[in-house]
A and B are shown apart, each in its own frame.
Chain A
């Protein structure tokens, strides 16, 4: 009953996060046609056509932003049937069409769970679907139980239920700073009435600010044993994971100049995977989905207009295309003057 009243209150009071965000219908259609199957599977075409909780989460979020209720319903149907099968109610992270059974790793990925929960909250509010909101709340509660770890005054988001803790790795705990989907934390916190989500946000921001003060670039995977440093067994690079950090900051309206500075500087000579120790480019990232991230930072910091060729969307591969749409949606909402 309490839950019902809360749902009611949220709906009546117009608690509708992200409803106003827009995604051009044409761009979403192109994305959907290329990456979303009729059954609702979001395909990572650069990784052997597998799907994962992240791709499903992004698909749901974009469908909500685009106002596409039908696609949202089919993507959710697939996500729920195929991935949301864990005992704890979180999503198995990896789904391979060539494997039997399709779920090849039952471990979760915390960012995938956050994206799914955030998208469900978005849809619940946008289309007045309390069931979606309820589902979002359940995932947020379960993830808080599974993945949030308090260390001293800090609250960290573990990347998964298994494999990254102090006891499981010599350099543990190991985190992934790009799993902080900052726009989702206030939503998850409100949904669950649990302040630890805001503490996670604060801890993430403090980490990024500390790194910025040391003029250090965040690597994809970070060991928290002692002073934060690149985790063992992963390339010490600002790469495909970490490059989402500035986008998430911008989308959440948390992009202070100082906080963005290391990312902006790292890409001064073009978008690339960057070695965090030397600052040198390791591998260029020429796709528009990456370049628009640099353009978005330039817009936010210096009001530099976004180049025309990046304003129109042409799908490339799943991942940069996803980032492209998230950036376009963010720019049109927050920085219309750059568009």
Chain B
């Protein structure tokens, strides 16, 4: 249902608690308050009358908490035009400035023609101590007691008329509290209804109430009416903090076009900070989407700000903008400025990327190494530039410590391009054995990474290992022309790497560490995430190649056939990498039977991975539990198993169970970005939109992930749909 019609229906059916006039007849209840409000707001925009209440038409229907008994049959009398100044005088006599000001604003809003009395210091006419007590209770905020006192007196003295002003004041403060409560409880239709029923509430004396009504309009998908409420404040209210706050809220809630209209009501450059923020937004958007360009004006504005302050944020923003718009050198400067201002991980990430883009790889690597632990994005940037650094030709002369930390990071992240890069670095500096190991390792990390296969093929060729070379060509022929061509002297192309003369340095000059055995053995990819497949000719043969039925063959191509425990172990890992988990499990079993304790422990872990790959999580758990694994390995396996369980539960739509599993997993390992994203979706599927939105927002802030953005969009879609 459309919000407006919903409001009308609600207003008509609710016909209000206290719509009874003081003479007992029902005051006409506005049949359609929403259009009235709209019109009123529109009017207030046209004629900036500082004293117009936000909903002036309804102000005429000032209602009374029906304390006065009904006297049936008497005709309705017109609402009194006399301005009741009792409260104003009372607050003045008490020196209660805050309430005095609020009352003054309220009366001005209700009666634009009214002039405040000048004799406020004369004491009010004495003679009604009971009424004095009521005002005192009111001033003390004891509204329930005022209600009780009025009711008691009405019942004791049927001739007594409760002052209209007292009742109006009570109605207003109670409605104000009720509006806050409804708004805190996200009862947006009720918020709008209360605002509509209590126009006296929506004045400059209570901008918070206006904001809450505006939020209710936003939440009920009526942003144009929220804009009207904000426009009301800007047209009529003078408090600078409240005016700025109004614009900040509008900026958060409304589309850009509406914000532009509101900015037109600026007085004396009061919204400079808002304009800054808008320029930031535009530049930020363009920084993410290189097809967009920020205007020179916006850029000048933010550049001036960035130069004027000592904070890093605008410098970072400009860094990413220039980086994505073909000005990496400028980006380097901005990021370095930001770093000098303690810009942290984001500044470092940008600086590393920008240095990389200007080919200053060594500098980039050195900087990146200091920020490796800061965030996944920093690691990613580091791996990018480190890989670029080591694959340069000719191979640069790097310090041993540098190469070692690159190798370590590449190993921990199982980053195939980095592994192959180290392969090339070793190859290019004449360390063929190390190159072989790195290319092989890169392939275990990513079976489909062609550059590693190509490197390995060249190594085999260099070592004259014809069998090894043929095995690679057999596997890659259909996918990689350059590998296929290696055994074809007629069509053999000259590859720069191959043609290059042997490095001028002796291998000892640039020792390349080989991957640690733990890196080879552990962290096998288990969950078959469909990684973007790189195809060199076409997709189909690749599929055939990876799915060929091979488990019957006892001696699969490159997995060896040794009988000892260590050989069986190696075969197990090899088979696992070929995604032949059943055969791998058998090999690990063999290793378990015949190997020493170290081998057996490794084999048990391997078996667990194999079982996971087969989808047999229960058996995998059993295998993991049976093995005496070192605590780190045990934790890793547990977290992997729990990830598997999580995905299974998630797929089965058991979102609560899935979240519990994630909680368990957190005891073993920190949550990966992927899993955090899935946590967000679990909340989403449970209708826990606030929780989901927290997760997606955090992810989006961390790395601008488009998946997180689509999560946020989905939440907005569904929450708005539910409200309409």
Give residues in A with beta carbon < 8 Å to B.
Answer: 3-4, 7-8, 11-12, 37-40, 69-78, 80-82, 84-87, 89, 92, 101-103, 106, 127-132, 134-135, 138, 141-142
Contacts and interface: CB of A to CB of B under 8 A. Distances in A.
B654 to A, nearest CB: 15
B151 A128 contact: no
B618 interface: no
Contacts of A89: 14, 190
Interface stretch (B38-46, B180-188, B481-489, B712-720): B180-188
Contacts of A71: 148
A141 B144 contact: no
B184 A101 contact: yes
Interface stretch (B64-72, B110-118, B236-244, B382-390): B64-72
B5 to A, nearest CB: 15
6 shortest interchain CB distances as A-B pairs: A131-B66, A70-B148, A74-B144, A73-B151, A40-B144, A70-B152
A154 to B, nearest CB: 26
Given A85-B187, A130-B26, A11 B70 contact: yes
16 contacts: A12-B72, A38-B142, A39-B142, A39-B143, A40-B144, A40-B147, A72-B151, A74-B144, A80-B17, A81-B174, A87-B189, A103-B181, A103-B185, A129-B70, A132-B66, A138-B17
A81 B184 CA distance: 13
Interface residues of B, number: 43
Given A40-B147, A81-B177, A101-B184, A8 B17 contact: no
Contacts of A132: 66
Contact of A77 (B25, B147, B186): B147
Given A7-B70, A40-B144, A138-B14, A86 B151 contact: no
Given A69-B152, A128-B69, A131-B19, A77 B181 contact: no
A83 to B, nearest CB: 8
A202 to B, nearest CB: 26
B24 A130 contact: yes
Nearest to B68: A129
Interface string B125-156: 00000000000000000111101111110110
A131 B20 contact: yes
Interface string B2-13: 000000001001
A130 B70 contact: yes
Contacts of B155: 69-70, 127
Nearest to A11: B72
A6 B66 CA distance: 18
Contacts of A80: 17, 174, 178
Given A38-B144, A130-B66, A87 B13 contact: no
A14 to B, nearest CB: 12
Nearest to B66: A131
A134 B15 contact: yes
A73 B67 contact: yes
Nearest to B723: A87
A73 B150 contact: yes
Contacts of B177: 81-82
Nearest to B64: A131
Contact of A86 (B18, B19, B144, B187): B187
Residue from A11, A76, A82, A130 with most neighbouring chain B CB atoms (10 Å): A130
Contacts of A73: 67, 144, 147-148, 150-151
A86 B17 contact: no
A271 B70 CA distance: 45
Given A73-B151, A87-B189, A38 B145 contact: yes
Contact of B144 (A78, A102, A135, A138): A78
A39 B17 contact: no
Contacts of B10: 87
Nearest to A41: B144
Contacts of A40: 144, 147-148
B187 A81 contact: no
Nearest to A82: B181
Contacts, number: 122
B25 A4 contact: yes
Contacts of A103: 181, 184-185
A142 B15 CA distance: 12
B190 A85 contact: yes
Contacts of B20: 130-131, 134
B13 A138 contact: yes
Residue from B17, B67, B145 with most neighbouring chain A CB atoms (10 Å): B17
Given A131-B17, A131-B66, A101 B185 contact: yes
A128 B20 CA distance: 12
B187 A8 contact: no
Nearest to B188: A87
Interface in B154-180: 154-155, 174, 177-178
Given A11-B70, A38-B144, A74-B144, A86 B190 contact: yes
Given A4-B26, A130-B24, A130-B70, A39 B15 contact: no
Nearest to A4: B26
Contact of B190 (A3, A87, A102, A129): A87
Contact of B13 (A8, A11, A78, A141): A141
A139 to B, nearest CB: 10
Given A3-B15, A73-B148, A106 B26 contact: no
Given A12-B72, A86-B187, A142-B13, 8 more contacts: A38-B144, A74-B147, A81-B177, A85-B185, A85-B190, A130-B20, A131-B18, A131-B65
Contacts of B69: 127-129
Contacts of B149: 70
Nearest to A87: B189
A77 B151 CA distance: 12
Interface string B497-538: 000000000000000000000000000000000000000000
A87 B181 CA distance: 12
Nearest to A103: B185
A71 B149 CA distance: 9
Contacts of B187: 85-87, 106
Contact of B178 (A8, A85, A138): A85
B70 A77 contact: no
B30 to A, nearest CB: 15
A135 B17 contact: yes
B264 interface: no
Nearest to B20: A131
A77 B144 contact: yes
B146 to A, nearest CB: 8
A142 B19 CA distance: 18
B554 interface: no
Nearest to B194: A85
Interface string B681-713: 000000000000000000000000000000000
B616 to A, nearest CB: 31
A260 B699 CA distance: 62
Contacts of A106: 185-187
Nearest to B175: A81
B66 A138 contact: no
Contacts of A7: 26, 70
A81 B16 contact: no
A258 to B, nearest CB: 41
B181 A81 contact: yes
B29 to A, nearest CB: 9
A338 to B, nearest CB: 32
B73 interface: yes
Residue from B149, B152, B185, B190 with most neighbouring chain A CB atoms (10 Å): B185
Given A12-B72, A81-B181, A138 B147 contact: no
B184 A134 contact: no
A4 B72 CA distance: 10
Contacts of B154: 69
A67 B365 CA distance: 84
B283 to A, nearest CB: 38
